[in-house]
Amino acid sequence: MSRIAAAFARTHAEDRAALIPYVCAGDPSREATADVLHALVRGGADVIGIPFSDPMADGPVIQRASERALARGTRLADVLAAVHDFRRDDDATPVVLMGYANPIERHGIERFVDGAADAGVDGTIVVDYPPEECGDFVEALVARGLDPVFLVAPTSTDDRIARLASLARGYVYQVSLTGVTGAAHIDIAVVAPLVERLRKAIGVPVGVGFGIRDAATARAVATFADAVVVGSALVQALHEAGPADAPRAGEAFVAALRTAIDGARTIAR
């Protein structure tokens, strides 16, 4: 069983939603990235993702974080090195890399997949690899035991979802709104039916992200989703804390979300 599957098996058995925090590798510093990852796990994270590089779906908070990381010289090799460092002390928590096609193709697909597998990565989200055009990439990932995780937009058609169902592994990421990360608060009444539609078509867990800024929203999403994905609000908190205090700030931020999410499952029953 993969680390991602094991994480969701555990949260399902405990009748709670998983918590997936996303941070930007290299921000607030390259050196702090692995320490931040460990702190998020201490706070109660179940799966960790690392968005990095040329933003497209990401809003201004993550765009600025990526710019700061790039200005410090952070490259794809540094992201993989941070995962490798994290794996020295944590062989259980899944790590998913979220990014874009350009740096992966510049690095070389086979080289990237091999490097990610060797570092201890469990899956990838490549925002601008549509399912119609990423067959070779998915095949390379699966061959090395990595899960291709796909975004699903509120506007995705039934045909697109069916195509994703044939490729998706690990989990799928339901985008809660038509916009970029951190753009607005989500409408629970709109998102809950989207998750239900996905569940009927795709046989992997469904996470929800974009627009989850606080414990109250995370708690509401946790009543119907398999996972709650939080990025921009956490990235901003880490930036404001600075490199020295980022691990402490990240742990406290995630711990508050974890408490809210676990309480939601109790209420839902």
Strands (E), 167-252: 172-175, 206-209, 227-230
166 alpha carbon, distance to own chain's centre: 21
- Which of the listed CATH numbers 3.40.50.720, 3.90.79.10, 3.40.640.10, 3.20.20.70 matches domain 3-262? 3.20.20.70
pLDDT at residue 249 in the model: 97
| Residue 3: closest CA among 88, 66, 93 | 93
Distance (Å, whole) CA 155 – CA 219: 24
Helix (H, G, I), strand (E, B) or coil at 182: coil
> Is the distance from CB of 231 to CB of 209 less than 8 angstroms?
yes
Provide the 8-state DSSP code for 22.
Answer: B
pLDDT in tens, 190-218: 889 999 999 999 999 999 988 788 899 99
Cis peptide upstream of residue 28 (ω within 30 degrees of 0): yes
pLDDT tier, 180 (very low <50, low <70, confident <90, very high otherwise): very low
pLDDT in tens, 112-145: 999 999 999 999 999 889 888 899 999 999 999 9
pLDDT in tens, 12-68: 999 999 999 999 999 999 899 999 999 999 999 998 978 777 667 677 888 899 899
pLDDT over threshold 60, residue 178: no
* Phi–psi pair at 134, nearest 5 degrees: -125, 25
